[in-house]
Amino acid sequence: MRSSKSRSRGKNRNNNNRPSGNIVNRVFDSSGPEGKVRGTPQQIIDKYNQLFRDAHLSGDRVDAENFAQHAEHYTRMLAEAMREQESRREEQDRQRQIERERQAERDRQAQADRDRNQAQQQPERATQPDVPQPAQVSDADVIEPQGTDDNGLVETPEAQDKPKPRRRRKPKSEDSAPPAPEAAE
């Protein structure tokens, strides 16, 4: 039977083989011949180059070569990280450029569609049959209404079938009323 400690050991392990984050700004611990050197890759390179110069001036060729190799290792790491960053940046720029081109194409297509729709709608408005424009109506086209009363109303066919109701006038007082018209003789 396994203990709970052995089961939980693998759960919190970090994968140290996988590069994580930005190497250029990441802090490393380097175990060199003079002890640990801690810092970003550029700081470690500078430290090992300084140690190389000191060993070379003191005449210790073995230590000088060792420090040079350590500095070279971190220089290569830094150069690789910079190349990866640059390639990512270029890829992002290419993607942005492609997206800008696609957006410009969509904008051009939308404008062409709007122009096409507008061009199709204008001739339809100008050439609608059976709808005379006010400027096109002439006097010959105007039909004079027949059977109009003094009030300007036109008699409809429905009204012609029915006899017109007679208007009844209230008799006015004889003082103010003008004499009544006499019947025709």
* 129 has pLDDT over 70: no
Domain ranges within the chain, ordered by starting residue? 23-122
Task: Report the range of poorest mean pLDDT among 18-22, 28-32, 36-40, 165-169.
Answer: 18-22
3-state helix, strand, coil in the chain (%, to 5): 55, 5, 40
- At 1 the pLDDT is 44
Task: Report the range of poorest mean pLDDT among 29-43, 68-82, 137-151.
Answer: 137-151
Put simply, whether the predicted model's pTM sits higher than 0.85 gets the answer no
Is residue 30 within 8 A of residue 36, CB to CB? The reply is yes
Calculate the alpha carbon distances from 120 to 7, 117, 123, 124, 171 in Å. 74, 5, 6, 7, 68
